[in-house]
Amino acid sequence: MPPRRSASATATASALKSRCSRLEDLLRSALASRARARADLERTRLRLRTAGDDFVMAFEAIDARTDAAIAAAELRGLLGHDLDVDTMLTVATEHLLARFRPTNAAIWLCNARGDHGLAAYGASDTPRGRAESTLGLIGREVCPGLAADAAPLVAESALDLVHAPPPGGGVLPGRRAMICPMSHRGERFGAILLLQDQSAPWQANAADQLGAIAGVLGEQIDRITRIVMQRSSGWPTAGGGEPGPDGAD
């Protein structure tokens, strides 16, 4: 091969090699840029998903607080400034049945020792007579253990509420339950129970609403007690003029 042709071929090969090297560098650079772009895109997607989740959670929290505030305001408006406890319990029970339908609602009041007595009951599908023994058990076993500041306790199986159900399970089998203390200023005044068939799901934000209603009832009972005590300068006497706990007429 003539020297001139050999030199030309060598130069061409060298140029091709240099060009290939540059192309390889460009390709590596493009691949690296592509990887960085994909990583940035994934980070952006993650931030958007997180922001979206945070937004949904914030919206759900606002929705729950709104429902609770509405439930409390409705009951407070219905109760007004009445000082009769029986009227208050009747109105509260009707409110519970209307708001959480279909459900059975029980309200206990407690004394200073923490003993709970059934004060009101509203039935959707379980008459009081049939539920009486079960409610008595819950009043003795469950209600005294509720902390004054406890959130509503939700049991998807109402049997989980008690250690030993009544014979045959009473009215608990096949039902779900929600129970909440009625408290105000750290003092407990009783408890509320919702009991309904497991085939009927809880409505949205049911626990928040029950907690708000229980708070209103605790506040009302505290208010009534204070007003009655102030007016009588002691415990009110019975209708027949019987002495109160302090022996005064």
For residue range 129-181, list pLDDT tens digits in order.
999 999 999 999 999 999 988 899 999 999 999 988 877 788 999 999 999 99
What gap in Å lies between CA 211 and CA 215, rounded to an integer? 6
The answer to whether residue 248 is domain-embedded is no
For the whole model, what pTM was predicted? 0.69
- Considering only residues 229 and 87, tell me which one the structure prediction assigns the higher pLDDT: 87
Residue 143 lies in a domain: yes
Domain span at residue 101 reads 69-232
Q: Which positions ≥6 away from 175 have C-beta within 8 Å?
A: 157, 158, 195, 196, 197, 198
Confidence of residue 236 (pLDDT cuts 50, 70, 90): very low
pLDDT bucket at 59, cuts 50 / 70 / 90: low
- Report the number of distinct structural domains present in the chain: 1
Residue 140 domain flag: yes
For the segment 63-76, the average pLDDT, to the nearest whole number, is 81
- Report if residue 8 sits inside a domain: no
Decide if 101 is inside a domain. yes
CATH of the domain at 186: 3.30.450.40
In a domain, 99, yes or no: yes
Q: Which pLDDT tens digit goes with each residue over 175-210?
A: 999 999 999 998 999 999 999 999 989 988 999 999
